[in-house]
Each structure stands twice: as C-alpha cells, then as structure tokens.
Structure 1
Amino acid sequence: MLRSLAEPEGYRLHATDDEIGRCRDFLIDDQQWAVRYMVADTRTWLPGRKVLVSPAQLGTPDWAAQRLPVAMTREQLEQSPPLDEDAPVSRRYEQAFNTAHGLPAYWLGSGLWGDYPAPSTMMAPQEMYIEPAPTVPEEPDTAEPVDPAVDDRVHLRSLREITGYDVRAGGDGEAAKVGRLKDVIVDDERWAVRYLVVDTSRLPFSKQVLLPVELVTDVDWASRSVRTEATEAQVEEAPAFDPAEPVNARMEAVLYDYYGRAHARVG
C-alpha cells in the first residue's frame, strides 16, 4: 500500500520486550529512492546517539493505535554500533550495523534491496544475536570492500531536512520554483519512495500535487532544492492530490498518463 512517510512521525516504537521511544525521522536514499532507516527518538535512555532501525526490523504499523513494532529487544537496540547524533551515516557504519544485526548488504545485488525483494525478507530465520557492539574500524576487515573515494559520500537524506525544500521545474539552468516539498509517498512493503508531494499553493489558492520520483533530476543540499525534468506548467496543472484520499491504482494510471510516462511499477 502507498502511504505518507510523514504520517508515522511521533508513533510509539514497541520492541519485542518493551516500548523504546518514538519514531523521529526517516533517512532516504535519494539515488535509488528507498527508505533505508528509521531514526528512533530514544533520548530518555540512550542520550546523544542517533539510533537507527532498518526497515527489515520494522513490523506492520498499527495506524489506528499509532504504534510501530520493532523486531528487536531493547538490549539489541542498545548494542547497535554507536553513532553520534549529528554524524552522517557512512558505508563503513552500515557494514558495522549489518554485522551487529545479522543483515545482508542492500547495496550488493541488482534490486532495490540487493538480492532481496523486500526488507522483510532480509532477516535471517534465527533470532538476531547479541554481542558487544562492533566499532566502526578505520580499515574494516570485510569481504565487501569499500572504495575509500566513495565511503564518506552521503546519499541519505533526512525526511525532516528535505521537507520544505523548494521544488524547481524545467531541469538544469534557471529552473522555475513551482512549490515546496511537503511529504513523500512510499510503498510500505518495499519501502520504496514513489512520489513527492509538492505544495504548489499560491494564496488564496491551495493545491498539492504528486510528482513521480522518476522525474526528479537532483536534490541539492546547498540550495535546499529539488529539481525535476517536468515543466513548470506540468507541475502547476497536475491533478490535485488530497492527502486524505489513498493513492490507488486508478489515481496512479491517471497521473502517469498525465506526465506521459509508463505506469508505475507494481510491487
């Protein structure tokens, strides 16, 4: 099902043995358009740390009760490799994280989640083990070598950070501002980002539209903007989106026909 990614923010997080905090944020891979991590707010018992949870470790949200289950114990979460609250996530850190939790590398393989169809299939059948948290080595001993030239490149964007970014249409050059990024719509099984929600409101008019991520050409930290190859007129005249209405197959068909693209992939 397609859902707003901003909706679970603030949801209570329930581990297998206790409540562990609340959902604080999500980290999005802006190259492959996937949600790679949920950021947990655990400051009451793990202050000063950025605590990450992979979608592979998340259960089905209870939307009515505003609860998000986590397939970990409190101790397993505490044993995650430490990451300073303001530190970026590097590939070296991800390798240490995967080692701690028995997860395969999503970056190996041809799919969105490597050789796995969805994050839920990445967990080993046995219970995750607990051992002292591995440090993040300067030169990791691993069968999955990391190119030092790309190790520290950050392609994970905080949902909180990009919300409010200008959306500029027309590709490169002097792209026209057509609105602001309001939210993203994700497939809650594959945790794939499918659409950006763009607020094109101009007083006294209020309008939100959906922009397929296939039309996004760049996300720029410096200018706090998202660029799209769609034209200014295409974005402004796109079908209106009502956040209260679910994104269904008929809506997607209309949207992709409007932008002159093949219909959205399913699953």
Structure 2
Amino acid sequence: MKRSINSLLGYIIKGTDGEIGKVDDFYFDDQTSTIRYMVVKTGGWLSEKKVLISPEAFQKLDSESKTLSVYLTQEKIKNSPDIDTDKPVSEQQEELIRGYYAWPGYYGNGMYGHMGLGMWGYPLVEVRETEKKLTKRKAEEHTNDKPHLRSTREVTGYAIHATDGDIGEVEDFIIDNVTWKINFLVVETGNWFSGKKVIISPHWIKEVKWQEQKVTINHSKEQVKNSPKYDSSQPINDSYEHSLNDY
C-alpha cells in the first residue's frame, strides 16, 4: 500500500514491553530511494533520546490507532549506540547500529536487494561475540566514507527545477510500506501552477544538488503541469500509477 511519509509522522511506536516513542523523521538511501531507518523520539522514560529503527524490526502498522509495533524492547532501545540524528548518518555509524541490533549486514551483501523484499517483522536475534568483532572492524573500515542517508525532513522544501525553470518545492514523499521504497515525491507548485500539487518519480530526477537544496528533473514545466491530477486526499491506486507512468 502507498502511504505518505507526512501521514506517518507522530505515529506511536510500541515495543514488545511498552511504548517507545513517536515517529519523528525518516532516513532514505539517496542511491536507491529506499527508507532505511525511522527516527523515533523516545518518551520521558528515556529523556527524549532519538533512535534509529530499521523497517526490518517493524511488526504491525495500524492506521486507525496510528501505531506501529516493533520487535524491540525498551531495554534494547535504551542501550542502543548514540547517534546524532541532527547530522548525516555515516556508514561507520550504520555498521554499529546494524551490528547492535543483529540486522543483516550491508557492505558487500546486497542489503539493497534484501530491503526490496520488504522484511516486515524480521525476528531479532542476539549478536554473537565474533559477529560483534566483525561489525567493529567493518565500522573502522568505513570511518571516512561519505554519508549516504538523507532525512526526509531535510529534503522537504527542496526546490524542484524542470528543464526550463522552477516548478515548486518538495512537500512530501509517497512510499510503499511493504518494500519501503520511495515511489514518488509530492511537489507543492505554489504560484507556478496556482497551487496545484503534482507528484514526480525518483526516476525523473536528473541531478540533486544537496548544498543548494535543489532537485533537477528531466521534464519541462509544461509536461509536469499536464501530468495526471494528483489528489492528496485520496490514496494512490494502481490505476493512477499506471496512468502516470504511461504519461
């Protein structure tokens, strides 16, 4: 099912032994457009700490109660590696996180492919001592690697530039909550198209200038303007998605 990232913000995260906190943000991989972590702001029980949780730990998403259950205990969260979520997450930090939670490795093991399978409710296991040493070594190997994870909050507001001019700003993201891939970016066109909202596919992106906070797509303003109308109050169904792709 397709869901809006903004609609998931504020969801209550429930661990196996109690409430952990609320969804505050998401990190996606800027090479595969895949959500790799959810940023959770813990409640008063942990002094407002922010932690990263992979979709591999997700168990059940309940839209009515706006809750998401995960296979994690409060104690596990409490002792997780300290990560500054206000800064880009490095590959070294990611190795530490994945090693701590015993989530499958990333480097050289095709994690992008595993994520594409939608590992919903992946059962957690304790990390053996030898695996901890291996994780530490891998983290040290990637100390100087460039960050590859981006915050959805950070990218919200980025300017969208068509082949012949600006068309608006990133307002939201549409994801598949099975594969956790970003299928579309929601664009608020403002004065450009009289406030019309349009969606664009990550496949249309030609270039992203992170320092300038600008996304360039390989279509003209007119092409975007005439694309199938997007109604943010309605879920994206297969029919709409097919019509957009055909267009």
Q: Same fold (TM over 0.5)?
A: yes
For residues 24-57 of structure 1, what are the alpha-carbon distances to aligned partners after superposition, in whole Å with 9 as ceiling and x for unaligned?
0001112110001000011623347431000111
- The 4+ residue runs of structure 1 with deviation greater than 3 A are 45-50, 106-111, 113-116, 134-137, 144-149
- Residue in structure 1 matched with residue 137 of structure 2 by the alignment: 141
Alignment partner of 1:160 is 2:149: no
Contact 2:116 2:179 in 1 (8 A): no
- Residue in structure 2 matched with residue 27 of structure 1 by the alignment: 27
Alignment partner of 1:198 is 2:184: no
2: CA distance, partners of 1:145 / 1:217: 33
Alignment partner of 1:65 is 2:65: yes
- Residue in structure 1 matched with residue 45 of structure 2 by the alignment: 45
- Residue in structure 1 matched with residue 126 of structure 2 by the alignment: 129
- Residue in structure 1 matched with residue 103 of structure 2 by the alignment: 103
Where in structure 2 are there 5+ consecutive unaligned residues?
none
2: CA distance, partners of 1:86 / 1:63: 28
2: CA distance, partners of 1:203 / 1:232: 9
Contact 1:167 1:227 in 2 (8 A): yes
Matches within 5 A, 1:211-230: 211-230=200-219
Decide which moves more: 111-120 or 225-234. Answer: 111-120
Contact 1:107 1:113 in 2 (8 A): no
Q: TM-score, normalised by structure 2?
A: 0.88
- Residue in structure 2 matched with residue 265 of structure 1 by the alignment: none
- The structure in which a higher percent of residues are helix is 2
Contact 2:91 2:142 in 1 (8 A): no
Where in structure 1 are there 5+ consecutive unaligned residues?
259-267
- Deviation at residue 166 of structure 1 after TM alignment: 0.8
Q: TM-score, normalised by structure 1?
A: 0.82
Contact 1:100 1:131 in 2 (8 A): no
> Aligned pair in 2 of structure 1 residues 71, 190: CA closer, same or farther (>3 Å)?
same
Task: Give the match's secondary structure for 2:10.
Answer: coil
> Aligned pair in 2 of structure 1 residues 97, 15: CA closer, same or farther (>3 Å)?
same
- Residue in structure 1 matched with residue 75 of structure 2 by the alignment: 75
Decide which moves more: 4-13 or 42-51. Answer: 42-51
Aligned residues: 246
- Deviation at residue 98 of structure 1 after TM alignment: 1.3
- Residue in structure 2 matched with residue 89 of structure 1 by the alignment: 89
- Residue in structure 1 matched with residue 236 of structure 2 by the alignment: 247
Task: Give the match's secondary structure for 1:119.
Answer: coil
1: CA distance, partners of 2:210 / 2:195: 27
- Deviation at residue 235 of structure 1 after TM alignment: 1.4
Contact 2:60 2:70 in 1 (8 A): no
2: CA distance, partners of 1:154 / 1:147: 10
Amino acid at match of 1:129: E
Decide which moves more: 21-30 or 38-47. Answer: 38-47
Matches within 5 A, 1:167-206: 167-170=160-163, 176-202=165-191, 205-206=194-195
- The structure in which a higher percent of residues are strand is 2
1: CA distance, partners of 2:211 / 2:116: 34
> Aligned pair in 2 of structure 1 residues 226, 33: CA closer, same or farther (>3 Å)?
same
Task: Give the match's secondary structure for 1:7.
Answer: helix
Contact 1:216 1:229 in 2 (8 A): yes
2: CA distance, partners of 1:120 / 1:188: 9
